[in-house]
Structure 1
Amino acid sequence: MISVNIIGQGNVAAHLVTAFLKADTIHVTQINSRTLKNVPQADITIIAVSDDAIGEVSAKLKNSFVVHTSGSFAMNALKNKNNKGVFYMLQTFSKNKEVNFSEVPFCLEATNQKDLILLEKLAKSIGKNIYHINSEQRKAIHVAAVFVNNFTNHLYKIGDDICKKNNIPFEILQPLIQETASKIKHLSPEKAQTGPAVRNDKKTIKKHLDLLNKKQQKIYKTLTKSIQNGN
């Protein structure tokens, strides 16, 4: 049995608590980050708070092994005096959307091999995709994730705005979105690229720009140029 403290009340903390409660080999305790005076000892103490609060929270902990769940916060930036680590899940977490942890990549890091093995056991209690990723690699992964997740979702939002303006249901685009995501399981993103930019279809590009507002035009032109330049 692995004992786990989870400090935090946000989406990541909530989903982890729910998952660990279903695991027979895990005993989990959730702790509010505002009340850290009597944090119980545990095999692993997970800090699942905002990046800005990780340093402050970790400095207050005397637990033997403390990890955080951030994609961009370095392991050695933890301010606890004992062993440190990272338990980063490469996934987007929303409050009312269930997470299938069997499909989530777990990016693990620890100051020693014994703790890394312990983190592996913890990850395998709810998932199966385990990666040993150091802090520099994790920073790169986090940036890449912003492009494929956050920025892509913003483009969905722009697409939705265009649909609403023209009285078109956004759901008409969903099969295309699904096919695009599915395609890159079999092709590299470069080879999967289609559309007027890669074809240098100037007439279509002009027609599109005529339909857009200035902000949308700027984004369209930037992405078109990036596609055509291959970067």
Structure 2
Amino acid sequence: MIKITIIGSGNVAQHLIKAFTKSEQIEIVQVFSRKKESVLNLVNADRIVTEFANLHESDLYIISVSDDAISEVSEQLPFKNQLVVHTSGTTSIDVLDSKNRKGVFYPLQTFSKAKSVDFSIIPICLETENPGDYTILDTIAKSISEAVFSISSEQRKSLHVSAVFVNNFTNHLYQIGQEICENNQVPFDILKPLILETADKIKFLSPADAQTGPAKRHDSTTIEAHLNYLTDENQRNIYKLLTQSIQHNDKTL
């Protein structure tokens, strides 16, 4: 059994706890949380610690806290020459304190505490400073996921920016679509099959090949009608910008 300690109790930490609990290769030795009640539903109380001084020995320590707290947390760890990783998509491996062996264990997914996920299909991006530590992380990652990748800190930055476009920005567009529907007494559920089909298409087509709509067709009559219909200035600006981006992309292909 590989012994793991998780430091943190947020969305990512809680989903990792759930995933590792199901693995026959992993033993969660401890979970560090400032508030014990945050993870009492996931681990026994005797495995939850609130002070760094009470951390026991593990094969791996996973820091799963906010990006701006990673460095400070790694500095406070009361041991040396242990394998310590963080789970951030944007933070370099270098922010970890050099008294310990450094790594990154980044699950590329959107996490919400109330929504369960299938960890077996979640890509896990790994980085270490030496091959021996990578082997450990690779074994751990493959115990919960079928999609494990070696990704450098620089590559991880590009992945995270890409993820903001395909996830966060796309979700915001869903919100705008829902607002337009609700303002006109149209159920947003009508759009859900379209949303699912759009996402499903890129399993088989590139996003460029899957693009459809008035901007792609250069249908100026429909575009102008949509802009005249929209009364919210922010929505109009987003519509214009995305239309211009789609048409610009056509010219560069």
Say which SS state the counterpart of residue 57 (structure 2) adopts. Answer: coil
Q: Within 1, Cα distance between the matches of 2:146 and 2:84? A: 22
Match of 1:79 among 73, 97, 101: 97
Q: Deviations over 1:98-128 (max 9, x none)?
A: 1101110010001110110100110111111
Instruction: Provide the residue aligned with 2:242 in structure 1.
Output: 223
Deviation at 1:80, TM superposition (A): 4.4
Q: Deviations over 1:189-208 (max 9, x none)?
A: 01110000011111101111
Q: Within 2, Cα distance between the matches of 1:55 and 1:161? A: 40
Q: Deviations over 1:174-200 (max 9, x none)?
A: 000000001011111011100000111
Does 2:59 align with 1:40?
Answer: no
Q: How does 1:99-178 map to 2 (within 5 A)?
A: 99-178=117-196
Q: Within 1, Cα distance between the matches of 2:52 and 2:157? A: 28
The answer (yes or no) to whether the contact 1:183–1:192 under 8 Å persists in 2 is yes
Instruction: Provide the residue aligned with 1:183 in structure 2.
Output: 201
- Gapped regions of structure 1 (runs ≥ 5): none
Instruction: Provide the residue aligned with 2:15 in structure 1.
Output: 15
- Gapped regions of structure 2 (runs ≥ 5): 35-49
Percent identity of equivalent pairs: 55
The answer (yes or no) to whether the contact 1:60–1:80 under 8 Å persists in 2 is no
Larger deviation, residues 203-212 vs 106-115: 203-212
The answer (yes or no) to whether the contact 1:184–1:192 under 8 Å persists in 2 is yes
Instruction: Provide the residue aligned with 1:69 in structure 2.
Output: 87
Letter in 2 for 1:49: V
Q: Deviations over 1:36-60 (max 9, x none)?
A: 2222221000000000110100111
Q: Within 2, Cα distance between the matches of 1:42 and 1:55? A: 20
* Runs of 4+ deviating beyond 4 Å: none
Q: Deviations over 1:112-165 (max 9, x none)?
A: 101101001101111110100000000000000000000000000000000000
Say which SS state the counterpart of residue 93 (structure 1) adopts. Answer: coil
Say which SS state the counterpart of residue 187 (structure 1) adopts. Answer: coil
Deviation at 1:30, TM superposition (A): 1.2
Instruction: Provide the residue aligned with 1:30 in structure 2.
Output: 31
RMSD: 1.1
Q: In the superposition, relative to structure 1, how do residues 52 and 22 fare at CA in structure 2: closer, same or farther (>3 Å)? A: same
Letter in 2 for 1:85: G
